[in-house]
Structure 1
Amino acid sequence: MPMPLDGQVTAFLNDTAPESLRQTVLDARKRDTLAGSYPYPRWMKKSDYEEELKPLQFELVKLQHWVAETGQRVIVIFEGRDTAGKSGAINRMTEVTNHRTVRVEALPRPTDRQLREWYFQRYVACLPAGGEMVLFDRSWYNRAVIEHVFGFCTPDQREGFFLQLPEFERMLVNDGIHLIKIWLNVSRAEQLRRLLARESDPMKHWKLSRIDVEGLGKWDSYTHAIAETFQRSHTGFAPWTVIRSEDKFRARLAVLRHILGQLPYDYKDSAAVIPPDPQICTPPEGWEMELWQDGS
């Protein structure tokens, strides 16, 4: 079966990647974590992960009933670089919940008409009604990072976004919506390893996009854009939480614990919903120290 982007990630590894990055990827064993500052040298065991995941998913079922029965409105934003694990974390939620209550929004490229609308307009159409929880697999923060890095918006459009953003999110929160913003953080070496896996596996190749490949050489541009995004959108009423996703198992557990811990649903089991691991779940300050180092 032909794979349209076959060989392009490998070409970056062999011809363009810094030597230290290339050697880190080539020398790594399968379950090694590749960010030098990550607190765990190896992925957690799958059996341990599954044992911890099951009670958290049971809590998600309780959360779902609370949302539906009390008419709550919940938004969870999942952002992060390519391959950071957004879809995997979302899937751990949706596999045990009802899509009529817990809905995923992953908006495609805007249409010609949408490009002429108020920027937030197409996202407003996806906001939850009473009794719904919406998981945004990427969100309005596209303008802050991806559109900026690839030149899909002008500097004036991006500045307008940042000027309107705080009031937009304040209105959501003031209207009673629970707004949770999660940034999944992956190192450059781990991202490259995951993209190589997508390139070579016909069952995963569909996940690999032209943006993924072109973004390989734009690491530092992404880093600058992300840093400014945190600076201008991390607020008391709509804070960011950064979860380090070198180990997808630990990251997924941290995501679920963070979301469950933020919402006051009925019959919460405090023994199951413990705080996320503080070594991998931090405010944005934890991101800056690590990512500037990885991107330098």
Structure 2
Amino acid sequence: MGKAKSEKAGTPSKTKSGASRPYPDFNLDDPKLPEEIDERALKSGGYPYDNKLKRKPYEEQLQALQLELIKLQDHVQAKRERVVVVFEGRDTSGKGGCISRILERINPRHSRAVALSKPTDAERGQWYFQRYVAHLPTRGDMVLFDRSWYNRAGVERVMGFCTEDETARFLRDAPEFEALLVRDNIHFFKIYLTVGREMQLKRFHERQHDPFKRWKVTDVDIAAIGKYDDYSRAEADMLRFTHTTISPWTVINANDQRRARLEAMRVLLSSLDYAEKDASAVGAIDPKLTESGADYLARAYPPS
């Protein structure tokens, strides 16, 4: 991957109201993160906690939840059920980290992550959902999508990789496609991770200057730095059209990745019954961090 262009990352653009975006001089290549961004990162986007979850309580809860996930997988195999979890969210929101912790302790023969690259020429000529259908689970398996068909409602729309008509058709068709999955008795979950603007900038900066994470920074990511508001509008439309009774969204504030990972596990474990379930180990979903797509939409994007 080529070197990130700081000029592109720092170019100011206009919001819908015409005001310049904050931090127009943010330089991804500068090894020093601006102090103002660092100080505001955790609380950005209305994050409800003043501090990140400490490592010890995190690891204790993680171990307990991973044990419950083993029980869940045993149940899914024994009952020949199917589980599909779609993870979506803003760039740097931690989708891969959530998926990795969920899969970490369970049998990889019956659980897997799916993270598709850009479509081939042949795939571009197919029905849009076709290449995703090929990765749906057989009986007894669990599949977690690290981004999914919702690329069309997010990055493809914002970056101009699809037309307005294609976006409109997708927003119309996605609920129908998902209803087919649910009616075929697939346990289907959609989890959306959101992060505040300053936290996203901080994470982009960390990735750019960490040799073990730099591979995550793509040209599309660089372009996304200046399109936070465009992604917000796409996010609102996605939730408005595709949060349905049969396939609802669950939104998790992921400014603290540790808390977000635990919340994602609790969403799955709280929603499914399985043998020897320990409700005290699963715990309660945190309403400060986790809400329905409809509630998030009403709070974050109230009617003007």
TM-score scaled to structure 1, two decimals? 0.91
How far residue 160 of structure 1 moved from its aligned partner, in angstroms, is 1.5
CA contact (8 A) 1:56 1:256 kept: yes
CA contact (8 A) 1:86 1:184 kept: yes
Aligned to 1:110: 119
For 1:4 and 1:287, locate their aligned partners in 2 and report how far apart those are by CA, in whole Å: 37
| 1:248-278 Cα deviation digits (max 9, x unpaired) | 1111110001111111111110111122111
- Given the alignment, which residue of 60, 66, 79 partners 2:75? 66
- Given the alignment, which residue of 226, 231, 241 partners 1:232? 241
- Given the alignment, which residue of 3, 22, 25 partners 1:18? 22
How far residue 7 of structure 1 moved from its aligned partner, in angstroms, is 6.0
How far residue 123 of structure 1 moved from its aligned partner, in angstroms, is 0.6
CA contact (8 A) 1:25 1:189 kept: no
Runs (5+) with no aligned partner, structure 1:
none
Q: Which amino acid aligns with 1:12?
A: A
Q: Which amino acid aligns with 2:245?
A: G
Aligned to 2:256: 247
The within-5 A match list for 1:1-296 is 4-6=2-4, 8=6, 12=9, 16=12, 18-19=22-23, 26-27=35-36, 33-35=42-44, 37-288=46-297, 291=300
| SS of 1:179 mapped into structure 2 | strand
Q: Which amino acid aligns with 2:181?
A: L
CA contact (8 A) 2:45 2:197 kept: no
CA contact (8 A) 1:35 1:187 kept: yes
Runs (5+) with no aligned partner, structure 2:
13-20, 27-32
CA contact (8 A) 1:66 1:266 kept: yes
For 1:93 and 1:156, locate their aligned partners in 2 and report how far apart those are by CA, in whole Å: 36
CA contact (8 A) 1:21 1:189 kept: no
Count of residue correspondences: 288
How far residue 27 of structure 1 moved from its aligned partner, in angstroms, is 3.3
For 1:21 and 1:268, locate their aligned partners in 2 and report how far apart those are by CA, in whole Å: 51
Aligned to 2:15: none
For 1:36 and 1:241, locate their aligned partners in 2 and report how far apart those are by CA, in whole Å: 17
For 1:243 and 1:76, locate their aligned partners in 2 and report how far apart those are by CA, in whole Å: 14
